């Protein structure tokens, strides 16, 4: 493995065709603008740093401006980037991307801090795992069977091609499955969920969610019993059609709306409690 440690005196950081570990350090407003791991299974870590006479302190920090880019390249890569890393591309291979997460490697006892800025992450081809963390992120799984976690913040998540598993997290998210048979869980908050093509499964785990394109006898809905203690029969007795939408008011606080439904009977064999 090639170990590459780069300090803030240039704009381009290039890995090798082998398995690289690339660690970049910033100081003040001098970030590296472009990082490319190239071929190989790479680990890319982005940090900021300051130095005092007593001890150095490292932390994850905002990555810079809209021109910044981290590219894992070919291979199965792991990318750990701070909040505000404007464009992160996994490239080909099965990648794991942490957007806006602190990095602890045991080198120092100092805590790492990060800000809740917005990230744009592209998984590329392959079966990728993407973690949005804090901030309003835009996360694109693209091709492959991807696992995408929005985390905290109002996120936009697009699964792309493949059978994806998409989780919104804690805030008000916009999630679209894309092609394939996807599993979509908005999490907490008021989420807008779109399955797109394929036989999709929508998981309701609280909040006030809206499903925009439910396909009768194709898609399914699973409602967590933590948010509804009654039976399925009671669930449908309590539901109503309002404005052309099916409305499931679970307890006055948590609500699920399924758009463009003519009759509740259309959903009866597609909705399950778990």
| Distances 203 to 79, 103, 207, 264 between C-alpha atoms, Å | 29, 31, 11, 18
Q: What percent of the chain has pLDDT over 70?
A: 57
- pLDDT: which is higher, 218 or 86: 218
Q: What angle do CA 144, 93, 168 make, to 5 degrees?
A: 50
Residues 83 and 64 sit within 8 Å (Cβ to Cβ): no
Q: What angle do CA 185, 194, 250 make, to 5 degrees?
A: 55
Of residues 17 and 167, more confidently modeled: 167
**Greater pLDDT, 40 or 166:** 166
Of 89-103, 173-187, 216-230, where does mean pLDDT reach its minimum? 89-103
pLDDT score recorded for residue 138: 85
For residue 45, give both structure tokens.
Answer: 């870590």
Top pLDDT among 47 and 248 is at 248
The tens digit of pLDDT for each residue in 128-166 reads 888 877 778 888 888 889 999 988 889 999 999 999 999
Per residue in 193-238, pLDDT (tens digit) is 999 999 999 999 999 999 999 999 999 999 999 999 999 999 999 9
Cα 139 to Cα 88, 97, 157, 229, 251, distances in angstroms: 9, 10, 5, 34, 32
Give the SS3 label for residue 139: strand
Res 129: pLDDT: 82
Q: In this predicted structure, what is the pLDDT of residue 194?
A: 99
- Please, which pLDDT band fits residue 185 given cuts at 50, 70 and 90? very high
């Amino acid at each position: 493995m090639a170990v590459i440690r780069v300090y803030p005196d240039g704009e381009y950081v290039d890995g090798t065709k082998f398995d690289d570990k690339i660690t970049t350090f910033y100081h003040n407003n001098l970030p590296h603008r472009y990082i490319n791991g190239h071929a190989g299974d790479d680990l890319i870590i982005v940090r900021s740093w300051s130095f005092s006479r007593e001890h150095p302190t490292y932390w994850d920090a905002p990555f810079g401006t809209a021109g910044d880019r981290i590219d894992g390249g070919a291979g199965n890569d792991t990318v750990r980037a701070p909040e505000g890393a404007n464009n992160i591309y996994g490239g080909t291979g099965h990648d794991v991307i942490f957007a806006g997460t602190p990095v602890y490697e045991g080198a120092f006892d100092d805590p790492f801090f990060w800000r809740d800025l917005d990230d744009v992450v592209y998984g590329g081809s392959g079966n990728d795992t993407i973690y949005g963390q804090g901030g309003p992120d835009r996360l694109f799984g693209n091709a492959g069977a991807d696992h995408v976690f929005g985390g905290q913040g109002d996120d936009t998540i697009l699964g792309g091609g493949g059978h994806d598993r998409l989780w919104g997290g804690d805030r008000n998210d916009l999630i679209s499955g894309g092609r394939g048979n996807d599993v979509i869980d908005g999490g907490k908050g008021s989420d807008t969920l779109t399955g797109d093509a394929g036989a999709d499964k929508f998981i309701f785990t609280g909040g006030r969610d809206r499903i925009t394109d439910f396909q009768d006898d194709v898609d399914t809905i699973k409602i967590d019993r933590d948010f509804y203690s009654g039976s399925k029969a009671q669930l449908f007795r309590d539901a109503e059609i309002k404005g052309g939408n099916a409305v499931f008011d679970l307890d006055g606080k948590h609500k699920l709306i399924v758009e463009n439904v003519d009759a509740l009977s259309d959903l009866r064999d597609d909705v399950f409690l778990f």
